[in-house]
Amino acid sequence: MDVYLSEQTWPELGEYVAEESLAVVPLGSTEQHGPHLPLATDYLIGEALARAATDRTGHLCTPPVRIAVSEHHRQFHGTMWVEPEVFRDYVESFTRNLTYHGIDRVVYVNAHGGNVQHLREVGRRLRRDETAYAVEWMWDESIPDLVDEAFETNGPHGGPKETAMVMHIAEDLVREGELDAAHEGGRATLAPEELRTAGSRTFYDSIDNSENGVFGDQTDATPEKGAELFEAATDQLVQLVEWIDDQPFADLMPDPHVDPQPGSRRE
């Protein structure tokens, strides 16, 4: 059974941190995912995976971060975002809050590609001053071969992998009548050579490459494929959580400066 932070009392959380020091934080976004998926897609996936994994490991799971770095989808109705520096500072701030209560290792269960580099930077900051060990985990990056095998025409956003996952997690939120329109109005493929002009990434927003903001063949998604992806990704997350939990904290911290230490020869 997972320990969901916002559903506990403070004495119950006191019992947790007396024995454990790891927390799992789900993150996603509130942004367009085409005409067939809800704006909640990313944080629904992140929270579902975090809850499934902590249900198996018994670790603390926090409420999800629902609004993040999504400005590249701003042309589409309903997309919400914060500036990257605001996101980084916010995540770092609440993570330091967790450390005040006894947490010294955190897994950011991320389901939005726009968050990746910023979560890595936050983890670097926290590790640099030896406050905590915090790492970003992206669900589809944990099972790349399975994702590629499941779909003939995958896509980085609003494609069949996310569609299948939401079909499994919250099928009633998928507008199945819009799957054909999503495919026809989007972009099926986005090859590496299509991303650059004379070596430069000459675009900034998703609308620059896709009229409806989505990629891949959404019609290839099924709840069964979503369940397979979900279980495989959960297995990977459980492995990561248990590995981090097993490590001595000192082994997770930065190595010291190589010898000679700066100033060691001064008298």
CATH number at 37 reads: 3.40.50.10310
Q: How many domains does the chain have?
A: 1
pLDDT at 114: 97
As a whole number, the mean pLDDT across the chain is 96
Which of 2-16, 74-88, 185-199, 232-246 bottoms out in mean pLDDT, i.e. has the lowest?
185-199
Q: Mean per-residue pLDDT for 136-158?
A: 95
The answer, yes or no, to whether residue 267 has pLDDT greater than 70, is no
Structure tokens at 73: 């989808």
- By residue range, what is the domain housing residue 100? 3-250
| Contact assessment for residue 182 and residue 35, using Cβ atoms and an 8 Å cutoff | yes
H helices of the chain, where? 10-17, 41-57, 84-100, 116-128, 144-150, 160-170, 179-185, 223-246, 249-252
The answer, yes or no, to whether residue 155 has pLDDT greater than 90, is no
In a domain, 257, yes or no: no
In a domain, 264, yes or no: no
Q: Rounded to 5 degrees, what are φ and ψ at 4?
A: -90, 115
From the list 110, 107, 126, 111, the residue with the least C-alpha distance to 60 is 107
Q: In this predicted model, what pLDDT tens digit does every residue of 195-254 receive, in sequence order?
A: 788 889 888 999 999 999 999 999 999 999 999 999 999 999 999 999 999 999 999 999
Confidence bin at 264 (pLDDT 50/70/90): confident
In a domain, 266, yes or no: no
In a domain, 265, yes or no: no
In a domain, 112, yes or no: yes
Residue 169 and residue 225: Cα distance in Å, rounded? Answer: 12
In a domain, 78, yes or no: yes
Q: Mean per-residue pLDDT for 36-57?
A: 98
Peptide bond just before 248 cis, omega within 30 deg: no
Instruction: Find all residues with CB under 8 Å of 142, minimum gap 6, and list them.
Output: 233, 236, 237, 240
pLDDT at 196: 81
Q: Mean per-residue pLDDT for 69-79?
A: 98
Q: In this predicted model, what pLDDT tens digit does every residue of 121-146 receive, in sequence order?
A: 999 999 999 999 999 999 999 999 99
In a domain, 260, yes or no: no
Q: Which residue type is seen at 260? A: P
In a domain, 258, yes or no: no
Residue 146 and residue 228: Cα distance in Å, rounded? Answer: 9
Q: In this predicted model, what pLDDT tens digit does every residue of 162-208 receive, in sequence order?
A: 999 999 999 999 999 999 999 999 998 877 777 788 889 888 999 99
